[in-house]
Structure 1
Amino acid sequence: MIEFRALADDHPDLAHSPLLRGALLTLQYSQNHGSIGLTKTKAFKRVFVHWAVEHFEWPGKSTEEMFRYNKVINEYEFPPLEVLHFLLMSLRLGRHRKGEFRLTKRGAELAQAPGHLFAELIPYFLFQIDHASYARFDDRPFGKWDVWMNVINVEADHGTTEATLFETFYGETQDWDTAGWREMAAFSSCVLRPLEWAGLLIETREDSAGKHVCHVFKSPLWRSALNLDTDEMLQPVSVQ
């Protein structure tokens, strides 16, 4: 079982969560403006999508990159916002009414309570959402969250790579340039990326000797928010 510790609303490590930041900004925008306009298909209108792109500070989705090839961006073209919209509706923090997204009473309360919002949002996002539903492929990796997170807790404690983690779980040496790249993509999309969006992992990417390498580290939020069975196996960082 994955246990999350309660964090105070002013806990500094909450700043590491892109999803929490996006949720707070969306709730507060709706609160300050009274609502967020919706399209006929009940997506956020472009004026808010553009605002979100500029203010979410999403990893790998800089404003310059997003607008480099598209002057107009719809909600579905900014996947984090599309997922967040679904989460806020599913958790009943917002509702659609007369062509607008409006906060519920609970949504208005959590708009000013980051720690409480994190406790509502992040476990639901990680453990209740089908992460393959918004990925490029429908493939799903074999495994369970309690196993994935307890093993990552140890393996990524001092840093590791995406390929090394995949081999640890599945006993195969695969990467994006091997025949098993689809299995790697499923693992990355359904396990590592949700943990990064939640703010629990930090991923950095580099191209070395013509090969793409993704490094994986636990964020400060992982250490402050999670209480895992494998915590007792962690080794302290040696100080020279």
Structure 2
Amino acid sequence: MIVFEEVVDDDPALVHSPMVRAMEKTFAYIYEHGAIPLTPSKAFKRSFVHWAAAEFEWPGYLEADLFAINKVLNEIDFGPLMDLHDLMIALKIGRHSKGQFTLTKAGQSLVGHPGRLFGIITPFYLFEVDHLQFARRPERLPGNWDIFLNVLNVEVENGATATELRHTLYGPKGESERFDMILSNLYVQVLRPLCWTGLLREDRVEGARRFDDGLFTKTSLWRTALRLDTDRDVRPATHH
């Protein structure tokens, strides 16, 4: 079983977590406005979605990226915000009441405590949330988080592409396959959630839209929060 180390609230590594940053900004919005207005279907109203697109500065979902493909933004157009909303409801950090989203007492107790927030949302988001809802062709990956994290711990130490990680975990794509479903699902179910929680970062060459062009590296949050069986096998790069 994967156990997360406690991260203190003033640890500078927390800056790497888009999820923690966005949730803290959401808390501040609620403090300032009293609540977030909801649509009849209980999604966040457009006014908040537009605010979040500008404020969150979510990698891969910047305001300019989102408005490049949408004239207006609904919650469904901003995938990370949908996940954040679902997460806050599932963890009873927030609740729906009379057409508005407000913080619960448990949520209010997390304001100003980003380390504690990270410790609550990260294991739940990685291990309990079904990430297949955004998959192009949903299919459960063989393996489990114990395997994924311990393999990545070694393979990503000095940076690795999604394609390289696919080769390590599952071998190369079959020559007859046009679409690499395993690579796509590896990204959606493992790599992207790790980036969104802040344990990994993805760097793409400028203009690259495809995730298999990206280089994945650990953030300092990975080293702070995780203690894994393969730590003894990790070999940092030597610089001459």
Which TM-score tier does this pair reach, normalised by the shorter chain? over 0.9
1:125 and 1:162 map into 2 onto residues whose CA distance is: 21
Do the aligned partners of 2:157 and 2:236 also contact (CA within 8 Å) in 1? no
TM norm structure 2 = 0.93
Q: Tell me by how many angstroms 1:224 deviates.
A: 1.2
Q: Which residue of 2 aligns with 1:179?
A: 178
Do the aligned partners of 2:158 and 2:236 also contact (CA within 8 Å) in 1? no
Q: Which residue of 2 aligns with 1:62?
A: 62
1:93 and 1:17 map into 2 onto residues whose CA distance is: 18
2:174 and 2:198 map into 1 onto residues whose CA distance is: 25
Q: Which residue of 2 aligns with 1:124?
A: 124
Greater share of strand = 1
Do the aligned partners of 1:207 and 1:213 also contact (CA within 8 Å) in 2? no
Q: Which residue of 1 aligns with 2:197?
A: 198
**RMSD after superposition:** 2.0
1:26 and 1:182 map into 2 onto residues whose CA distance is: 34
Q: Tell me by how many angstroms 1:158 deviates.
A: 0.7
2:181 and 2:48 map into 1 onto residues whose CA distance is: 34
Q: Tell me by how many angstroms 1:178 deviates.
A: 5.4
Q: Tell me by how many angstroms 1:136 deviates.
A: 3.0
1:181 and 1:236 map into 2 onto residues whose CA distance is: 30
1:72 and 1:180 map into 2 onto residues whose CA distance is: 31
Do the aligned partners of 2:200 and 2:216 also contact (CA within 8 Å) in 1? yes
Q: Tell me by how many angstroms 1:135 deviates.
A: 2.8
Q: Which one-letter code corresponds to 1:148 in the other structure?
A: F
Structure 2 stretches of 5 or more lacking a match?
A: none
Q: Tell me by how many angstroms 1:90 deviates.
A: 0.4
Q: Which runs of 4+ in 1 moved over 4 A?
A: none
Aligned runs of 1:96-111 on 2, under 5 Å? 96-111=96-111
Q: Which residue of 2 aligns with 1:188?
A: 187
Structure 1 stretches of 5 or more lacking a match?
A: none
Q: Which residue of 1 aligns with 2:73?
A: 73
Q: Which residue of 1 aligns with 2:49?
A: 49
Q: What SS is found at the alignment partner of 2:96?
A: strand
Deviation digits for residues 132-152 of structure 1, max 9, x if unmatched? 023333222111001000000
Q: Tell me by how many angstroms 1:226 deviates.
A: 0.8
Q: Tell me by how many angstroms 1:232 deviates.
A: 1.0
Q: Which one-letter code corresponds to 2:187 in the other structure?
A: S
TM norm structure 1 = 0.93
Identity %: 44
1:137 and 1:35 map into 2 onto residues whose CA distance is: 36
Against the structure 1 CA distance between its residues 163 and 174, is the aligned structure 2 distance closer, same or farther, given a 3 Å change threshold?
Answer: farther
Deviation digits for residues 207-230 of structure 1, max 9, x if unmatched? 89xx96221111111111111111
Q: Which residue of 2 aligns with 1:139?
A: 139
Q: Which residue of 2 aligns with 1:95?
A: 95
Q: Which one-letter code corresponds to 2:192 in the other structure?
A: R
